Amino acid sequence: MTEEKVQKIKAVMLGHAVGDALGVPVEFCSRAELAADPVTDMRGFGSYPVPAGAWSDDTSMSLAALDSLSEGKIDMGEIMDHFTNWACDGAYTPTDEMFDIGRTCLDAIHKHITAPTLAPTACGMDGEYANGNGSLMRIHPFALMFWARPTLRPDLDNIIDDASALTHTHERSRLACRVFTRILLALLDDPRKEAVFPALQAARERYRNSNELHHYVRLFDPSLALLPTDGIRSTGYVVDTLEAALWCLLTTDSYRDCVLRAVNLGDDTDTTAAVAGALAGALYGYESIPKTWLETLIRREYIEEMCEKAGTAWDENTQ
């Protein structure tokens, strides 16, 4: 794989992790609180007792997935085992300690531990109220694999469905992951904002029979970018997160502005900024991520080494 392609993998993984780390200290802060004291740089502590540059569950679960995918295989059972190591033993964390976990992810991991014979894809929750952003926030490593290995693309829908279903089985969450993957692929293939809308149109057509499609009407509407800030919700609901992340991408012109806009929306700051950051990383590239933020990010080399390993494993020229 060319160095340029490896840099793109890093741009998405680090773009996501930096967005996560910017949001962690102000998670749950309201939009009004952040308007009075907006985030403009990495901060330490705040919502959690962790230093500046610490990333949260979004990045930990993404690294748990990438650790397995970067071996050149798709093994959902192993990924679920890695999630368990994160939740129970602090693997894939910046400070060797897990400090936040979503309810639905916790339930799925608990199921995996207590019912070891259960298929990993049967561990996820499928209730309508289990549609937080917990699978959307960790799906980009799969998108990167599909980008690097085009021969896998015919299986994209099934694999993304399974990847979501490790924790989030409801069609609304699975659809969010499929649509997000297709937006990210479009931006990796053609890093221009103009690539987004055709990808959305193609996704809407492809998934027209999904009984959950109507929840994404605003996402597919080209006027999303024209909505005022007050029209954007930044809660932990998967539909809100996908809309907010795309809105941040479409209404800004740099990586920095995109992730700061996401953080300063408030509420689920880390996940909104992480999802927006993955998109912005694909659009603007690794060099666009401010150096001081990369230097502050804890265990950056560890994340980059995993990206390099993935780059080698996914190189279709050597397979």
Residues that bind Mg ion (CB under 5 A): 56-58, 270
| Minimum CB distance to Mg ion, residue 184 (Å) | 19
Dihedral angle, C-alpha 205, 211, 215, 219, nearest 10 °: -10
* Residue closer to Mg ion (CB basis): 58 or 267: 58
Region label for 59, one of left (φ > 0), alpha (ψ between -120 and 50) or beta (otherwise): alpha
| Minimum CB distance to Mg ion, residue 24 (Å) | 7
* Residue closer to Mg ion (CB basis): 8 or 168: 168
Question: Tokens 């990847």 sit at which residue?
Answer: 163
Residue 248 phi, psi (nearest 5): -60, -40
Residue 37 tokens, joined: 């004291």
Give the residue at shortest CB distance from Mg ion: 56
Query: Do residues 112 and 123 touch, judged by C-beta distance below 8 A?
Result: yes
| Minimum CB distance to Mg ion, residue 269 (Å) | 9
* Residue closer to Mg ion (CB basis): 164 or 314: 164
* Residue closer to Mg ion (CB basis): 57 or 81: 57
| Minimum CB distance to Mg ion, residue 134 (Å) | 9
Residue 40 tokens, joined: 């403009």
* Residue closer to Mg ion (CB basis): 57 or 67: 57
| Minimum CB distance to Mg ion, residue 15 (Å) | 16
| Minimum CB distance to Mg ion, residue 21 (Å) | 10
* Residue closer to Mg ion (CB basis): 56 or 241: 56
Length, in residues, of the chain: 319
| Minimum CB distance to Mg ion, residue 57 (Å) | 4
* Residue closer to Mg ion (CB basis): 62 or 164: 62
